[in-house]
């Protein structure tokens, strides 16, 4: 029996994708999993230090993990219309003022750099703490991720830019947000098959999978949870395919170029 540590976020898309594994409703074979629920930046750091066997990480963090991990062709988050949002409290964005970012190694941070095209004053916060500050502090501005794209208008925040839409308009590619990193010492093939089986189970047993998502997203209403799943769990979740692989390759090369040219 191979007992593996699996780190994912408690966000609806991750819980939905892995629900068959979490609930042990798919054939696990020789695997057993200890699930560690963490925010995306914590997972980035855990993977960078080689702590977890399997982890959901930001595509922007792949370069920091490539010595120890390979990337699965399924289970991640990639798509169109799924990008982070640059929001302001007061309706005015000032590039000279500090910008709140949900983690140094997040794809959100890279997409903000790609959008702005130059260095900015930043403060890194967990995404939920960041959102609370955006809602409560006059003059604040920041990049939000996950389900906050569905609630920011209701909460009185203002959209400066959809960073995903900007990426798509400039590159033509879908947005690689998050990937499933697997320790190189593990065989990818059976793990990919297992993740795909978990996704298939979730769609076949939608109500059970949704109930599990609700358990880990108690502060979200059912409509937001469902919108989150529909947006972030898509055909690329089950298999990147040629189009998804091209999007990832372009993203990683563009990241390398931006880092080299600007020193980000």
Q: How far apart are CA 40 and CA 55, in angstroms?
A: 10
Classify 261 in phi/psi space as left (phi over 0), alpha (psi -120 to 50) or beta. Answer: alpha
E strands within 75-121? 77-79, 85-88, 99-101
Dihedral pair phi/psi, residue 110, rounded to 5°: -60, -45
Residue with tokens 């998502």: 213
Give me the catalytic one of 89, 146, 205, 228.
146
Q: How far apart are CA 163 and CA 188, in angstroms?
A: 32
Q: Give me the DSSP letters along 34-83.
A: EEEE--HHHHHHHHHTT--SEEEEEGGGHHHHTTTEEE-SSSSEEESS--
Active site includes 228? no
Spatial CB neighbours of 70, under 8 Å, sequence gap ≥ 6: 181, 182, 183, 184, 188
Q: Give the active site residues.
A: 146
């Amino acid at each position: 029996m191979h007992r593996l540590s699996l780190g994912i976020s408690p966000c609806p898309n991750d819980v939905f994708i892995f629900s068959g594994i979490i609930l042990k409703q798919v054939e696990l074979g020789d695997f057993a999993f200890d699930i560690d629920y963490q925010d995306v930046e914590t997972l980035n750091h855990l993977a960078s230090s080689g702590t977890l066997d399997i982890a959901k990480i930001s595509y922007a963090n792949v370069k920091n993990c490539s010595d120890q991990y390979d990337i699965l062709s399924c289970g991640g988050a990639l798509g169109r219309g799924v990008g982070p949002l640059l929001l302001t409290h007061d309706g005015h964005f000032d590039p000279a003022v500090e910008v709140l970012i949900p983690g140094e190694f997040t794809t959100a941070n890279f997409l903000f750099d790609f959008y702005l095209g130059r260095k900015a004053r930043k403060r890194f916060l967990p995404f939920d703490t960041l959102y609370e500050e955006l809602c409560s502090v006059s003059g604040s501005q920041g990049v939000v991720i996950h389900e906050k794209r569905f609630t920011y208008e209701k909460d009185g925040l203002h959209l400066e830019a959809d960073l995903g839409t900007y990426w798509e308009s400039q590159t033509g590619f879908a947005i690689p947000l998050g990937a499933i990193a697997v320790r190189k010492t593990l065989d990818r093939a059976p793990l990919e098959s297992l993740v795909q089986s978990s996704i298939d189970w979730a769609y076949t047993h939608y109500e059970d999978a949704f109930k599990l998502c609700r358990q880990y997203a108690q502060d979200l209403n059912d409509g937001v949870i469902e919108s989150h799943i529909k947006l972030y769990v898509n055909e690329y979740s089950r298999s990147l395919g040629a189009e998804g692989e091209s999007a990832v390759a372009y993203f990683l090369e563009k990241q390398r170029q931006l880092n080299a040219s600007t020193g980000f």
